[in-house]
Structure 1
């Protein structure tokens, strides 16, 4: 579980990132979760954009990806979700205490 200070730090780190995954009409599926998990292992911090044709609510999408990828939701802002998961192999982000 991330603290407020850690979430604030990660929001700052994610500010310059571009969304690397998009959730569209099909919603969240196994393939999207696998891609999110792989991206989180490689980068630790990712942005996901929700397209206008997505029929699911953004909180539901965030929860499905969080549970599937075993990640933390850093922020939901507009139609953009930010996720964090500590990498096992390539740890690059040092969280504040």
Structure 2
């Protein structure tokens, strides 16, 4: 009888060991999957960082281009203003000349 009880206990212990091994295998698989997921997330973060750097570079270029365009617009505005002032001065001069000629003709 004692041998039977010992055999039953040994079977129970072996069953618990097998169950423990199964749980440990499952935990090990879960850890491996977690590591793979973490690596994927890390790769994605590197990609996001790279994209962010590229966007920052593009924004710098856009800002520089916008600044150049603004400078060119200012130069054009100033140039047009100078041309307009010169035309007005020439028109005023022509008008004065015509008035003088008309005055001289009347004498």
**Shorter-chain TM band:** under 0.3
TM-score norm. by structure 1 comes to 0.19
- Relative to its length, the structure with more strand (as a share) is 1
- Relative to its length, the structure with more helix (as a share) is 2
Q: Which has the larger radius of gyration?
A: 2
